[in-house]
Amino acid sequence: MSTSRTSTPQTAGAGARSTLTRARVLAEAVALADSEGLGALTMRSLARELGIEAMSLYHHVASKEDLLDGVAEVVVREILDAVGALEPAPEDTPPAEWKHALRRRILTARSVLLRHPWAPSVLETRTGFSPYVVRYHDALVALLHRGGLSYDLVHHAMHALGSRALGFSQELFDPGGPGGDPAAAPEPDDEDLLARLTDEAPHIVAMLAEVAHVEPDSTLGWCDDQAEFEFGLDLILDGLERLAARGSR
Amino acid sequence: MSTSRTSTPQTAGAGARSTLTRARVLAEAVALADSEGLGALTMRSLARELGIEAMSLYHHVASKEDLLDGVAEVVVREILDAVGALEPAPEDTPPAEWKHALRRRILTARSVLLRHPWAPSVLETRTGFSPYVVRYHDALVALLHRGGLSYDLVHHAMHALGSRALGFSQELFDPGGPGGDPAAAPEPDDEDLLARLTDEAPHIVAMLAEVAHVEPDSTLGWCDDQAEFEFGLDLILDGLERLAARGSR
DNA sequence: ACCTGAACACCGTTCAAGT
DNA sequence: ACCTGAACACCGTTCAAGT
């Protein structure tokens, strides 16, 4: 479902739209993935949404792969905008506050990704050096180095953060999380699943019984993604801080 | 390329193989992904490899999705076998050594995944609760809890580890890493790339110039995946240890 | 220059039919 | 019961042709 049909004025009958640009193609692709999921983003469906024939897309995009590159770029640019709007500006933050500044940037990036739950799986598969991704990471490197961390430690830090630097993490048991396809999220189907888990994973069940906010037999109680993300992030940031204090490692 | 054609005796002419089982289908799927990459694993190519018609696969596998579930299961079972062979056995390790025991298990899991570079991208997309994945994580939970960590801290720990618990991590700039498709790994194309990066990412370039073992203008010098994985893992494990010492948090 | 229709070489999968 | 061939509904993409 989309309002693209009527969102811009056009000459009466034919399907010709104002003028197609790469930017409009990418924006529509993002909108389509937002509303229908990444699986629904095909060259044909995207063209339909734009009131155009599939083959016309190839005038603005070299291939499906290039389309996904562009889509990733749009999302990361959105992150850069959000992060750039932070106060105080990164250059004005006292170097010693690198940890809080980094934390804030990463959580801001995450808040953008929460609006595009499909984005992590696209970002994961981009192998090239997208200019905006590089620029984002370069700013993080600058922040850490200005904070007094040696380049050696900064390098380790970037690896340790991994995709967390962009605000998402790999949660193997979190089908509803930022990386998951909403359509693929299974109904917890509590009764059977819990019985199975009690057999196969008694310790996990015991853990969840103690930890989960809800009773484990009512729903399985998906965990608080945001809180767990921050826990893991802080674990890493605190560790880095400790290493930095220990004489730039 | 595969030796499956002659790997088992068979009656002279026809394509009928000993007898097809789900296990044999899955084993061949893993072998195919190992040798040709995940992209080359299609129902048709797998059938061809087995000397069979594509539709016959549906007698042993409900769908492609089910095939991938099974393939993931094979890999995780391989991890469980490798981890089970560790000495001393997990139940016999002194509880206080939970950190080293956990570290060893995770690095063992990683060594298995290094033999199946495509496996992380399959594991990432499994949304169900695979019995073997659950069992593996249950053992980790038991290890941590026996080590004296509260279930609350163990729960945070599992989230913080994320996919790292199974031995892989999300490296956005590591196309050749465990998560990458070898076919998609780009030639570093040093000249242009470095020029571009010097513009877009001066701090990253400065960092790499200081850190990389090789000169940055000869090759970009991909980082030491194993060392960086261990750095990040230890950062998390040390942090957990500190929290545990601080009175089970 | 931009857009199109028909066609190609793939997918996963259904279905009725063979043994 | 297990396996098959033809066919269906999709993909991304090529190509020659339209304006």
Q: Does residue B183 register a pLDDT over 60? A: no
d(CA A109, CA A40): 25
Q: Quote the pLDDT of residue B135.
A: 95
Once rounded to an integer, what is the mean pLDDT over residues A202-227? Answer: 76
Report the first-to-last Cα separation within chain B, whole angstroms.
54
pLDDT at A212: 73
Which range of A171-180, A187-196, B135-144 scores highest in mean pLDDT? It is: B135-144
CA of B24 to C1' of D14 (A): 38
- Look at residue A57 and tell me whether its pLDDT is greater than 70: yes
Of the residues A144, A150, A203, A242, the best mutation for testing chain B's interface (the one with the most B CB atoms within 10 Å of its CB) is A203
Question: CB–CB of A69/A63 below 8 Å?
Answer: no
Would you call A172 and B165 a contact, using CB atoms and an 8 Å cutoff?
yes
In terms of CA atoms, which chain A residue is nearest residue B213?
A152
pLDDT digits (tens, 9 = 90+) for B72-126: 999 999 999 999 988 776 677 788 899 999 999 999 999 999 999 999 999 999 9
Strand D proximal to B23 Cβ, under 7 A: no
Domains of chain A: 3-61 (1.10.10.60), 84-172+218-246 (1.10.357)
Least confident of A14-18, A108-112, A167-171: A14-18
Whether residue A127 and residue B175 make contact (CB cut-off 8 A), yes or no, is yes
B203 vs A155: CB contact, 8 Å cut-off? Answer: no
| Token representation of residue A97 | 């506050």
| Mean per-residue pLDDT, A66-90 | 91
Q: How far is CA B134 from CA A159, A166, A181, A211, B197, in A?
A: 27, 28, 21, 18, 42
Q: Hey, CA dihedral for B21, B22, B27, B30, is it positive or negative?
A: positive
Alpha helices in chain A (DSSP H): 4-7, 22-36, 43-49, 64-84, 98-113, 119-125, 131-146, 151-161, 190-200, 202-211, 225-245
Nucleotide nearest to B52 (CA to C1'): D3
CB contact under 8 A, B170 and A172: no
Summary mean pLDDT of chain B:
84
Contact A32, A39 (CB under 8 A): no
Higher pLDDT, A45 or B217: A45
Ranking A121-125, A221-225, B74-78, B138-142 by mean pLDDT, the lowest is: A221-225
pLDDT band at A24 (very low <50, low <70, confident <90, very high): very high
Compute the distance between CA of residue A142 and CA of residue A132 in angstroms, rounded to an integer: 15
pLDDT value for B194? 80
